[in-house]
Structure 1
Amino acid sequence: MGLDEQVPHAAPGQQEGHRQADRAAADDEHGRSLGIIDTARQRAVHADSDTGQPYDQWATEWVRRRGVPLGRMGRPEEVAPVIALLASPLASYISGAEVTVAGGAGRSAH
């Protein structure tokens, strides 16, 4: 379904929501590879780990074991601008690219 086509059987107020979802799907052609980001999900992983370590100590060890060169988790405010750029009209000529926001993790040594 194209971005400007009507969604059958959708209420008038839902039309724009469906168009936005279609645009998001179209924008999803831009790859985003995220590293370990300090989110509620990571805090839940810590809570489930039963290590008894304070979160900051656990997080430092977590990223060390995963080989993150910057030695820390990323912050949502570091990821958000990248996502905003890729979802914006400014990225209209970006095609088939993957942007990795992972503190250097996953880079091959040369």
Structure 2
Amino acid sequence: MDKNYETNAKIFKALSDGSRLRIIDILSCGEKCACDILENFEFTQPTLSHHMKVLMECGLVKSRKEGLWSYYSLDTTNSNKLVLFLMDLITNTEDDCICRYDNKSKTCNK
């Protein structure tokens, strides 16, 4: 599995905000209109737009326009990739443990 640390670090940075985590939780129930998401917060529409932009740029959320309204949903493919990355990161086996190998020679450091 390609770990792509930099890409995943950007995603975790996006998720380091409590409001964005809450937005992900809301979207886990299915597609929502921006106005429906906004009802769950005490901030303004421009602030919501900023949060949605961050979540879309890192690939966790996708959007579609319908008339004047924007609808948001989780990008389940990218969300699942993130979960798999985290699981792989914290459950490495002896065969693929990063700390066991020297980057140049790929020999065991033990």
Measured against the shorter chain, the TM-score band is under 0.3
Considering Cα pairs closer than 8 Å and 6+ residues apart, tell me whether 1 or 2 has the greater RCO.
Answer: 1
Q: TM-score, normalised by structure 2?
A: 0.27
Which of structures 1 and 2 has the bigger CA Rg? 1
Q: Between Structure 1 and Structure 2, which shows a larger proportion of strand residues?
A: 2
